[in-house]
Amino acid sequence: MIKRSFFTLTQPRLNYDLVEPDPKEPTSIPIPTDLILLLNEPIDSTKDTLIKKGNKVEKGEKLYLYADSTEYTISPVAGTISSLDVYSDNLGNRSTSLVIKSNQAQSDSITYDLKETIASADEYLRTLPGAPPLERLASDDNEINTLVITCGDTDLLSTTNQYVALKFLNDIKKGVQVLKTITTATKVYVTVPENSPLQGGLEPLQVFKTSMAYPSNLPAMVLKNHLNLVLPAGKTPEDMGVCFIAAEAVVSLAKAYQTKSAGFEKIVTIIDKQGNQHRAKATIGTPLRNIFNAFSIQVSEQDRIIIGGPMKGFATFTLEHPVQPDMDMVMIQDREDIPEISDTPCINCGKCLQTCPVNIPVNILVRYLEAAQYEEAADKYDLEACIECGLCAYVCTARIPIFQYIQLGKHELFKLRADA
Amino acid sequence: MNNIKLTVSHAPFWHDGDSLFQMNLNIMIATLPVVIFAIIQFGAPAFGVLSLSLSSAMIWELIMNLVSKKRISIGDLNSAVIGLLFGMMLPATSPWWLIVTGTFVAVVLGKMIFGGIGSNPFNPTLVGMAFLMLSWKVFFDFDAAYVNYDFDFTALAPLAALKLQGAAAVTDLFPLGDLIMGRQVGAIGATFGLGLIIGGIYLILRGYIRWEISVSFILGIIVTAYCFKLANPEIYAGPMIHLFSGYTLMGAFFLATEHSSSPANRIPMFIYGFCAALMIILMRNIGVYADGTVLAILLLNLVNPLIDTIRPKTLGKGGNNA
C-alpha cells in the first residue's frame, strides 16, 4: 500500500505500474474440473430455462437462459452443466451463475459463421478475453466515430493490457483492421503509458502518450487530455461517439476472426499479500481458488480478495469467484493490511478538493450523500460528474468511505429517476 | 470445501494512512517549541495551566459522550488540541475555575452541541476564549497577570501599551529581536514568535494546515498595518509589532486554520485569511480591544460558508453557475 509521504505540500501522486521490458510467459493455469460462468440475466422462476442441469455443452457453444434472451455466455470447455444458481453483486444486481463440469477431453472449439459486420461479431464474440464492448458498438443508440485502444491499464498495479500490447503488437494492428471494417469508426487512436517499454511499432496509428500518474488512463481523463473533449456530467464516452477498447480485447478479436472461433484464455495480473506481481493465463470461468493455489498464495479468514484494482475494483465474498472476460487483475490483501474506515463526519480539511481530478466539491457533496439527499447532490454538487477514480476516499483524513457514498448515490439516483 | 469468510468492502482498498489522530497529534507536536519555551519562561504555573486546560477539555468531551450516549470520541485528540490551544491563549497565572469554565464553553458549547468534530461552525477554542474575555476581562490584563514575575525585559504587554500610549511612545520599548525570541509579556503560547513560525511551517510541510490561509493572513497583517502606519506613524505601529505580539501568529498557524470553520477552496482561503487579518488590525487600531484576533477570526468563521461558495467549475458541468 502506498502511504502518504512525510512532507505532503502537494497532492499525492500514485503511479501506474509498468510492465517489465522483457516479460516472461505467464503461468498457465490448468483447466479446472468445475468452471463457473456468470450470465448477466436473473433467473425468473415463472419461466422454463433452456439451460438445465445435466445438459451437455460443447466448447464454444452459446448458452441462453431463455428462448427470448438477448444475453448469452459461451462455454469455454466441453462438459456438462452441473448447477444453476443466483448470483448477486455488491449493488444487489442479480445474475445467474452456471457451473460446468469439464469432461477434460481435449476438443476443438466450435467455429462460427463470422461475417465482417458488427452484428455478427456481437452475436458470437461478446465474451472474448478483454470484454470488447461489441454490444455497445452494435447498438443504434449512438454512432461511434472514434475508437480508442488502451494499451495501459485503468487501475493501479495491473499490467495485463500493457503485457498483451507488448507481446501481441501485430495482432493489435490486425484487430484494428477488423474493427475498421466492421464498425463505422473513422478515427482510431491508441493510448500507451509514457514510460512503457512499448515504444513505436504502432504506426500508422496515432499514439497518445498517457501520464504515469493515476488517474490519467480513465476514459474521462483521456478524453480531456488528448481529445480535448469534456465528458458532460452523467454521460458516457459512447454518448459522445467515442468507444474505449482494451488492448486485450482487440487482440482476441483479431484471433477470433483468424480462427473463426472464440478464445477463452484470459491474462490476469495477480498481486500477492507481499505486493509481488505474478501473471497468469487462465481459462474464463476458472475459480480464483485455483489461481491462488497455482501461486501457493494462502488465503485466510478475513483477508480481502480484490478484483479489478485497489482504487476502482470490488471485493468478492468467495474464493469460487470465476475469472471473467474483463478481470484484469486480482489482488489479495492480508487482514492486517486492510485500512480502517470510520463514520466520523467530514472535518472539511479540503484534501479531497485538492486531489479531485474534475473539481467536484467533495466536502459538501459528502454531507448531502450522508443525509441521503441524492437529487440535491446531483443538481447542486455535481454527483454525476464523478469519474469514479476513488482518490477522495484514498486521501480522506476522517476516513469516510466517500467513493462508496458516491456510487450508492448514483445507484439510488438512477432508481429515483427510473421510478419517476 | 472450506468456506472461509472474506472481508468484503468498497473501493478504494488503499488509504494514504492519514487519520484524525495523526493530524491532531501533529498539531500538538507543532506546538511543542512554544510550549517548552513557555514552561521555561513562565515556570510551573504555565505547565499547570496547559495541563489543566488540555485534560479538562478532554474530560468535557468524555462527559458529553456519556451523556449523549454516543461513541467515545476523545481518542481522535481533537479536544486535546482545543484544550492545548486554549491553554496557550491564557496568561500563566489564570485561576483553575477560569480554565475549566473556558474549556467547558469551548468543547461543549463550541463543538459538542453542534454534533462533535467537523460540525462546529466556529473555532471552538475561540468560542471559549471570547466567552472568557467578555465575562472576566480583568484576567486578560497581561500587565496585571505577571505583576509578581521579575523579567529582564520590558514587562509591558505590547498591544495594551500601544493602545494606551500610541506607537511613537512604545516602539522603542519593543525591539523586534525581543518580540521574536519571546522576550515579551503575553499569553503562555503566544509570546515566542519563532517557535510559532517553526510549528506553523512544520504543519504546512506535513500538509495538516493549508498554507494559503497562513500566508494570506500574515500578508493581510503586514499590508493593513503598513497602510495605517503610512496614515499616521505617531499613533499606529508598524507591521512587525502587530505580527509578533498578541495572538497574531497563533491565529495565522493554529486558530484561523482550524479545518471545519475555515474554507477549503483556494480563492476563498486567500480571502478568508486576508480579511481575518484586516479585521484584526482594524480592531486593534480603531476598535476598543487591545487584541482583536479572537473576535476577528470568529467573525470570519461566520462568513466562511458564504465565501467558500467561490469554487472552480466542475469538469463536465454545464453552464456557468459554479
* Amino acid A1: pLDDT: 64
The answer to whether A317 and B6 are in contact (CB under 8 A) is yes
Place of cell 490584563: B141
* Alpha carbon distance A321, A317 (integer Å): 8
Dihedral sign (CA A111, A113, A117, A120): negative
A42 touches chain B (CB under 8 A): no
**Does residue B289 or residue B203 have the better pLDDT?**
B203
CB of B5 within 8 A of CB of A301? yes
Higher-confidence position of B55 and B320:
B55
Q: How confident is the model at residue B322 (pLDDT cuts 50, 70, 90)?
A: very low
Cα separation, A278 vs A330, in Å, equals: 10
Residues of A with CB below 8 A from B315's CB? 220, 224, 230-231, 357-359, 385
The pLDDT value recorded for residue B320 is 44
> Which domains, ranges and CATH numbers included, belong to chain A?
30-102 (no CATH), 132-259 (3.40.50.11540), 265-337 (3.10.20.90), 351-419 (no CATH)
Mean pLDDT value of segment B96-120: 94
Contact A8 B316 (CB under 8 A): no
The residue whose grid cell reads 460446468 is A100
List of chain B residues whose C-beta atoms are within 8 Å of the C-beta of residue A299? 4, 6
Does A398 contact B314 at a Cβ distance shorter than 8 Å? no
Please report residues of B whose CB lies closer than 8 A to that of A344: 20, 73, 76, 117-118
The candidate with the shortest Cα–Cα distance to B250, out of B203, B205, B299, B290, is B203
Q: Is the pLDDT of residue B319 over 60?
A: no
Among A231, A303, A363, beta carbon nearest to B316: A231
B4 vs A300: CB contact, 8 Å cut-off? yes
Alpha-carbon gap, residue B194 to B253, rounded angstroms? 12
Map A218-230 to HEC letters. CHHHHHHHHCCCC
B211: nearest CA partner in chain A: A9
Beta bridge partners of A268: A280
Q: How confident is the model at residue B201 (pLDDT cuts 50, 70, 90)?
A: very high
Question: In angstroms, rounded to a whole number, what is the distance separating the alpha carbons of residues B233 and B296?
Answer: 23
pLDDT at B321 over 60: no
Side by side, the strands of the sheet bearing A34-39 are A34-39, A94-102, A79-88, A56-57
Q: Is B1's pLDDT higher than 90?
A: no
Note the pLDDT of residue B254: 96
Smallest CA-to-CA distance from B280 within B300, B261, B264, B263 is with: B300
Where chain A has pLDDT below 70, the residues are 1, 8-12
- Specify the pLDDT at position A12: 65
DSSP state at residue B17? S
Question: Which of A363, A402, A410 to probe the B interface (max B CBs under 10 A)?
Answer: A363
Q: Which of A224, A346, A357 sits opposite B118 (nearest CB)?
A: A346
pLDDT at B166: 85
Grid cell listed for A418: 427510473
Residue A78 grid cell: 466441453
Task: Give domain limits for chain B.
Answer: 20-139, 154-307
* pLDDT value at B259 more than 70: yes
Residues 6+ apart with CB under 8 A from A414: none
DSSP letter at A81 equals: E
Q: By the CB < 8 Å criterion, does A338 face chain B? A: yes
Instruction: Concatenate the DSSP letters of all residues of B224-240 into one string.
Output: HHHHHHHH-TTTSPPHH
pTM for the structure as a whole? 0.91
Interface predicted TM-score (ipTM) of this complex, two decimals: 0.89
Residues with Cβ < 8 Å from B195, sequence gap 6 or more? B33, B34, B37, B182
CA distance A292 to chain B (A): 14
Each residue's pLDDT tens digit, A393-419: 999 999 999 999 999 999 999 999 998
Which residues does chain A have within 8 Å of residue B112's beta carbon, measured at their own beta carbons?
Answer: none
The nearest CA of chain B is from the CA of A259 a distance in Å of 38
Q: Please indicate if any CB of chain B lies within 8 Å of the CB of A166.
A: no
Cα of B208 to nearest chain A Cα, Å: 8
Q: Which of B116, B113, B95 is nearest to B53 (CA)?
A: B95
| Most confident segment among A18-27, B140-149, B191-200 | B191-200
- Residue whose C-alpha is closest to residue B110's, from B86, B77, B89: B86
Q: Give pLDDT, residue A303.
A: 93
What would the pLDDT profile of B22-78 be if each residue is shown by its tens digit?
999 999 999 999 999 999 999 999 999 999 999 999 999 999 999 999 999 999 999
